[in-house]
Amino acid sequence: MKVILLERLEGWGALGDVVTVKDGYARNFLLPRQKALRANAANLKVFDAQRADIEARNAKAKEAAGVAGEKLDGTSYIMIRQAGESGQLYGSVAGRDVADAVNAEGGKIERSMVALDKPIKTLGLHEVKVRLHSEVTVTVTLNIARSQDEAERQARGENVINAQFEEEREAAEQAAADMLEGGAGTHEMSGYDA
């Protein structure tokens, strides 16, 4: 289906371009969200007549997104989640969770604005892109941890999973050394002759 784009769409074109897209994409996404018009003679005339208004509205939306993006860009959000010993989350962090975290701290985004290629499934610091407008993208950092203390350690740059394994290894070495020092494997026989 041929459509006239009412805003710049990444991978498709700029405002006013006539492009061919799959029918389902046009019917289910572009047309209902007023991102495009069907490309026919009547709509081309309407678009040409209203082009200045559409461009002004798009510029105003881009400017508003830019102002919001300045406040949001580079911010960090802590998310406390349950995870296994290896740092694998029980569940995952999706776009909805990111949007909820940002909105809980005063931001204003929708989950459709969060650009996650795949859900986040591990502890640590993760950078996530947020598309506030088709031409305005910002990056926020998610600090996913099992506790507030762990989140603070991660924020300082410590790898808590490796640190945990290192602590366990040192404790095991210390226990082995204590056993050897205490004469492990030798015990006194009292009252019994072997």
Beta strands in the chain (DSSP E): 2-5, 18-20, 36-38, 76-80, 88-93, 114-115, 120-122, 124-133, 136-145
Nearest-angstrom CA–CA distance, 51 and 15 = 9
**pLDDT tier for residue 183 given thresholds of 50, 70 and 90:** low
Mean of the per-residue pLDDT values for the chain?
83
pTM given for the model = 0.68
With a cut of 80, say whether residue 28 has pLDDT above it: yes
Confidence at residue 22, expressed as pLDDT on a 0 to 100 scale = 93
What is the CB neighbour count within 10 angstroms for residue 187? 7
- pLDDT at 177 exceeding the cut of 80: no
pLDDT at res. 8: 83
User: For residue 25, what pLDDT is reported?
Assistant: 92
Domains for the chain: give ranges and CATH numbers. Answer: 2-61 (3.40.5.10), 76-178 (3.10.430.100)
Which carries the bigger pLDDT value, residue 174 or residue 79? 79
Please state the rounded mean pLDDT for residues 176-185.
68
Amino acid at 38: R
Tens digit of pLDDT for each residue in 117-176?
A: 888 998 888 999 988 888 888 999 988 988 888 888 888 877 767 666 676 777 777 777
Per-residue pLDDT, 135: 81
Residues 6+ apart with CB under 8 A from 173: none
- pLDDT, greater one: 173 or 35: 35
Above 80 in pLDDT, residue 75? yes
